[in-house]
Structure 1
């Protein structure tokens, strides 16, 4: 089944430009045939596309709206190592999460991750105050067992009250001391998805957004599954095709639609759980560099976090409530009140609704399989809040549930499942290589160029980076240089309003990252659109970036 070599990576193919999209649309027709069509371009679907394409499979990744449109852009932006799962006895999940966190931070996306100090402040000396320290020591053991370097994630320790305030200046008065543990934090979850999709394109995957896919239940006379793709009617002419509909064939189809998985696979029931965050100005909290961890009253393993993030903001969350399925989930007022009530217990400033710049909610997919024998939707389930599920139904392979940090493992297991299917394997023209995604750096990762770079090139590169905004390097890694050089609009180095984001970055989302609408630019590729006032200030630049390339 396996070859020994991974498919060659072609950097030029990672450029998801309008010309790339129009060229792909011209190639697609009823005779187009793929080994795998992947429906859903969130972190899981994009991870599957990279895994499959790097093994040498012919892959098409499609999404009804955009890269990271769904749950993948509404997370807490943590590459969580599994510590909180230990409290509920989920040792296996904790171990897997710790391993995958290390791979993400040290190999695949070191440019999109950082070590985040997670701080617990202690106000009273008592035996219960030591429980977090014991948990953090367990986290250190998880990190070591996973093989992650202490240079990547420093060991946990006890810190003074003064040090607590250095990390979290707004912490309540009269604290005695604190504990700090280091976990992984993503610069942005949607940027991770974009990097995954573009890296998959570098290995030959075709990427098509604003394209809704409908999958045939059975197979045709040639043993292939039929996929009907309907393009968004509101797209510019350059981004669509006459009639707006395309048909392709696939040996197998991957359903990676997350909370919408039941729309393609009727045997799977997904119950959405809403996780709400509020957004506040970092200055209101003293510009913290660490994440203040606040225990939810009455719970031993639920917390609220105040998380410092990009663009001068802090995200505070999160809730865990059963919710209705929505394309863009709303954050109810009661969720906002609950979050503020919990975190205000640990602060010397009192946050009110007036301090909330915005709020967002994501839907976690809690999964179960329908049991036709007896109990219907109340039949056997996986661990609804944590475990992922992979189900193969005649070549339609559904993968859903799980955690963002485990996306790579879920992708590997999903492609392995496809390759075990005799009907799919019979239609694959080449023998697939084994999974190699543990060592594949994503677009922008310094590992992509560093191993073979000569000293002179490294010195020139370091000099160039020294003159660039640090925030741009955080978001783009090694590609930061190209963001300015490839800018398609004037004054690319100028920032937008008071945000530490340049006009060139908005242009780059269109020329290199597959954005074809203002929402793609402001709501997924960047986080500008999250705050209404910032969005209003940036819309004209987004329109200019689209117009510059004929969209």
Structure 2
């Protein structure tokens, strides 16, 4: 079994408190990496992995925990669906199809799943709109086949009759006599798991991954940082600095003007919507930016979104963006009721879900819009070099993380005179990754395989040595004591919140979280002290 990058010791991918302290002391002592990455979200960890896989020495600093601002709920990933026939749009669609194939079949097959999506063809969908959508779906299927994705992984889109549409989504008021269009997408089960896997794989290539280290000022040749655990200031020197802090990026460099792409959403009970494992999508005529989507999640709930808006500025300039207001919640449910019927309005949402992306300050306005609609170019990634020479990478909503990271490192290599080849991450499996056939052979719980991949066998083996580790860490939870110990020993968790909010599956309600906090904190404390063997 191999669950680590080729050529590295089996335990080199483990992130834990002792490793963090030792590697931070090295930087404080004057060790100068080739690349300093600031930010421990998906873009930052992907950038650290890209640079480390090229043979560059890398340090990553993150002010909080890994994936601290990463959304836990996921829509399907862009997978090759073109919006029009323009050359730039077709090139973007081809890129997205390749990136989905890479993620699904090479880098992280265990972290993604195939999700069916239904577009109902009711009386409100003109024939012309239906034909245009069928043509786009056919183009998407062609892009995926060209990228090497087999139809056994992502089946070809097709039109289905009304009876089949009702069977897939019995909660729909009526799919209409024309049935629906059924397509398939790739969904990340939990983006926080992806971030942890990227960080650990980077560590396997030698990267120093340091959490609770906040950058206060960036320079061409390093950064001023604060070790938040020891409350000490450190000057870290590096040959190149890449700022991947998302919405905070403009705070750390001059000349970077950002807007916020805000995607409000809500989490609903799938059962009461009359849905099961099929997502439902509707596109208002001529308003693709206001698409209503209801996408099932791995925990049996559904993520509802209804459009997006680009607003000027970023938090803390716009702190109210972090939660949905009552009016916005009502708008979401009203949009859902038009698709799913009155079931969508019977009960309040289980939880709000707001995703905010940083975008370069470029907008397209129309006189009848109260707010700016997202500029298509702004949804892609953007690499900016400040007057001081600090490189910033901003990944829009539709930009694959891997290509954004690769371009940022390319700019660092060219601009800072680093000696390195091209990106290698397209062929670099993340920790736990293996072929689908290999994953199917693992003789452990499917729940563990879906979260840990091939490392599920190591997690399970801990319970054979100590059967008490197989017990749930708290009543009513599926997460075992062994998984909490694993999070501390190998995934960089340093307190109970790290485990509850970013290592355990999403969907833990406030009451359940409060009840689980004491036993999880106890296990974390004991694991940090080395009690478990």
> Is the shorter-chain TM-score for this pair beyond 0.5, marking a shared fold?
yes
**Corresponding residue for residue 223 of structure 2:** 227
**Corresponding residue for residue 369 of structure 2:** none
**Corresponding residue for residue 533 of structure 1:** 511
Q: Aligned partners of 1:267, 1:248: CA distance in 2, in Å?
A: 23
Q: Aligned partners of 2:246, 2:293: CA distance in 1, in Å?
A: 24
Q: Aligned partners of 1:316, 1:506: CA distance in 2, in Å?
A: 30
TM-aligned CA deviation for residue 418 of structure 1: 0.8
**Corresponding residue for residue 325 of structure 1:** 315
Indicate if the aligned counterparts of 1:117 and 1:290 stay in contact, CA closer than 8 A. Answer: yes
Segment of structure 1 superposing worse, 516-525 or 39-48: 516-525
One of 286, 291, 294 as aligned partner of 1:303: 291
**Corresponding residue for residue 372 of structure 1:** none
Q: Aligned partners of 2:455, 2:379: CA distance in 1, in Å?
A: 34
**Corresponding residue for residue 373 of structure 1:** none
TM-aligned CA deviation for residue 257 of structure 1: 1.0
Q: How does 1:21-420 map to 2 (within 5 A)?
A: 21-70=20-69, 72-73=70-71, 76-83=74-81, 85-86=83-84, 90-124=89-123, 127=127, 128-173=129-174, 175-176=176-177, 177-218=179-220, 225-232=221-228, 240-241=229-230, 243-286=231-274, 288-296=276-284, 299-300=287-288, 302-322=290-310, 325-326=315-316, 329-352=322-345, 354-368=347-361, 383=376, 385-393=378-386, 394-403=388-397, 406-420=400-414
Segment of structure 1 superposing worse, 288-297 or 335-344: 288-297
Q: Aligned partners of 1:472, 1:185: CA distance in 2, in Å?
A: 18
**Corresponding residue for residue 235 of structure 1:** none
Distance change >3 Å, CA 195–CA 344, structure 1 → 2: same
User: What's the secondary structure of 1:73's corresponding residue?
Assistant: coil
Q: Aligned partners of 1:107, 1:51: CA distance in 2, in Å?
A: 15
TM-aligned CA deviation for residue 60 of structure 1: 0.5
Alpha-carbon deviations, 1:306-356, whole Å to 9, x = none?
111122321111441345515781222222222211121122452237341
Indicate if the aligned counterparts of 2:37 and 2:58 stay in contact, CA closer than 8 A. Answer: yes
**Corresponding residue for residue 473 of structure 1:** 449
Q: How does 1:477-492 map to 2 (within 5 A)?
A: 477-486=453-462, 490-492=468-470
- Alpha carbon RMSD of aligned pairs, Å? 3.0
Distance change >3 Å, CA 350–CA 399, structure 1 → 2: same
**Corresponding residue for residue 221 of structure 1:** none
Q: Aligned partners of 1:87, 1:285: CA distance in 2, in Å?
A: 35
TM-aligned CA deviation for residue 96 of structure 1: 1.8
Indicate if the aligned counterparts of 2:72 and 2:506 stay in contact, CA closer than 8 A. Answer: no
Alpha-carbon deviations, 1:241-260, whole Å to 9, x = none?
3x433222100100111121
Indicate if the aligned counterparts of 2:273 and 2:343 stay in contact, CA closer than 8 A. Answer: no
Alpha-carbon deviations, 1:45-65, whole Å to 9, x = none?
111111110111110011111
Indicate if the aligned counterparts of 1:294 and 1:342 stay in contact, CA closer than 8 A. Answer: no
TM-aligned CA deviation for residue 447 of structure 1: 4.3
TM-aligned CA deviation for residue 363 of structure 1: 0.9
Distance change >3 Å, CA 293–CA 77, structure 1 → 2: closer
User: What's the secondary structure of 2:356's corresponding residue?
Assistant: strand
How many residue pairs are counted as aligned between the two chains? Answer: 503
Alpha-carbon deviations, 1:384-428, whole Å to 9, x = none?
53122112235411111334651111111111111112xx32xx5
- Normalised by the size of structure 1, how large is the TM-score? 0.83
TM-aligned CA deviation for residue 383 of structure 1: 4.5
Stretches of structure 1 that go unaligned for 5 or more consecutive residues are 1-5, 219-224, 233-239, 370-380, 451-457
TM-aligned CA deviation for residue 180 of structure 1: 0.8
**Corresponding residue for residue 455 of structure 1:** none
Segment of structure 1 superposing worse, 487-496 or 513-522: 487-496
Alpha-carbon deviations, 1:506-528, whole Å to 9, x = none?
33222211111333222222344
Q: Aligned partners of 2:223, 2:521: CA distance in 1, in Å?
A: 33
**Corresponding residue for residue 365 of structure 2:** none
User: What's the secondary structure of 2:264's corresponding residue?
Assistant: strand
Instruction: Give the 4+ runs in structure 1 shifted more than 6 A.
Output: none
TM-aligned CA deviation for residue 228 of structure 1: 1.9
Segment of structure 1 superposing worse, 57-66 or 479-488: 479-488
TM-aligned CA deviation for residue 500 of structure 1: 4.5
Distance change >3 Å, CA 32–CA 215, structure 1 → 2: farther
**Corresponding residue for residue 236 of structure 1:** none
* 1:550 and 2:517 matched: no
